[in-house]
Amino acid sequence: MRARLTQMGAEGLSGASVGARVVVRHLIEDGARATDLLGELAHRDAETITVRTRRGPVTVALEDVVVAKVVPAVTGRGWRVAAFLRRAGVAVLDLDGVLRTFDTDGELGRAGQALGMGPGELLELAFALPEARAMVVGRACHADWMAAVRRRLLEAHPGEAVEHLVATWLADHGTPVAATVGLVDELLDAGTPVFVFTNGTDRVPEELVRMGLERLVPTLLNAHDLGSAKPDPEAYAAAHAEIERHLARVVGRAEVHFTDDRPDNVDAARAFGWQARVFTPER
């Protein structure tokens, strides 16, 4: 099984030249879980691949590669979000839909279809639960939410199919959006403070580490910790206070450039006094 998976995973790097920017998901802990590498392809031979990341070169056996692909270099000349963030005194980015995406292999979608659920129906059900709101503002944890999702699904669906869906969901910690991560690295290299502002769960720090984005954990602004969530005005006030605490200085609201893929979160940021733009991916 691993040999077949490896062959499929390595296909995404066929024809990739040294120096190409790549994202590689690979197995670790004897195949118990997977993690992601993002960086430049430094070497490839018949058995291994080496990726030069911000932490240094990492060599992975090809037999452990789950999926890999070449991503375009971040030029951003026509990418308005990139130009907007390059002008920031302080850059703040949303996480989901901006810095990471989920279900890149389609497995969760297929698990939902097996229960007769259409696109988006599973997330609509899950986020409508009271445990979801409680989790986001720190009054419950991710495990509480998943248990509530499981209970609700078991009311109408076979147990085996529900257990498969929940296990699939729990195993997906997200995949980095390579172009956005590249832009963040560019901003950090230029000395721009970068923060991640998310309506997240207690699992977000661990998930960032598993995606190879642990450098963003110290500047994580997580609604679960702040006690209020976007687009509530209190969330932006709490996030701004954390930015000032981290930078140990007063930060003018107009210094902050914020991007989010939800227009209501962007509108709320503008009302608070941040400069804000709806996120659009690089084309």
- Write the pLDDT tens digit of every residue in 204-263: 999 999 999 999 999 999 999 999 999 999 999 999 999 999 999 999 999 999 999 999
Q: Does 192 have pLDDT greater than 70?
A: yes
Lowest mean pLDDT segment, chosen from 4-8, 11-15, 23-27, 81-85: 4-8
For position 40, what pLDDT does the model report?
A: 80
214-226 in b/e form (b: 16+ CB < 10 A) is eebeebbbbbbeb
- Compute the average pLDDT of residues 184-203: 96
- Separation of CA 187 from chain center: 18
Query: What pLDDT sits at residue 9?
Result: 58
Residue 22 clears pLDDT 70, i.e. is over it: yes
CATH T-level topology, domain 2-71:
SH3 type barrels. (2.30.30)
pLDDT of residue 101: 94
To the nearest whole number, what is the mean pLDDT of the chain? 90
Predicted confidence at residue 36, as pLDDT, reads 84
Question: Residue 7: pLDDT above 50?
Answer: no
The pLDDT value recorded for residue 75 is 53
Helices (H) and strands (E) counted in the chain, each on its own, are 12, 12
Q: Are 226 and 139 in contact (CB under 8 A)?
A: no
Instruction: Write the pLDDT tens digit of every residue in 67-118.
Output: 888 876 555 567 999 999 999 999 999 999 999 999 988 999 999 999 998 8
More confident: 24 or 129? 129
Summarize the confidence of residues 262-266 as an average pLDDT.
96
Residue 154 has pLDDT above 90, yes or no: yes
What is the total residue count of the chain?
A: 283
Q: Reply yes or no on whether the pLDDT at 6 is more than 50.
A: no
Predicted local confidence at residue 28, as pLDDT: 87
For the cut 80, the answer to whether the pLDDT of residue 17 exceeds it is no
More confident residue, 147 or 47: 147
DSSP string, 25-63: EEEETTTTEEEEEEEEEEEE-SSEEEEEETTEEEEEEGG
* For residues 160-186, average pLDDT: 94
Provide the b/e sequence for 125-138 (b: ≥16 CB within 10 Å): ebeebebbeebbbb
How confident is the model at residue 37, as a pLDDT?
82
The pLDDT value recorded for residue 5 is 37
Considering the segment(s) 80-101+176-278 as one domain, its CATH architecture is 3-Layer(aba) Sandwich (3.40)
**In this structure, what DSSP letter does residue 16 have?**
P
C-alpha–C-alpha distance, residues 233 and 225, integer Å: 16
Task: Name residues whose C-beta falls within 8 Å of residue 94's C-beta, 6 or more positions apart in sequence.
Answer: 196, 197, 198, 259, 260, 261, 262, 265, 279
Residue 10 has pLDDT above 90, yes or no: no
Q: What is the pTM of this model?
A: 0.78
Q: Which of 178, 198, 195 is nearest to 282 (CA)?
A: 178
- pLDDT at residue 42, as a whole number: 82
Mean pLDDT of 129-141: 96
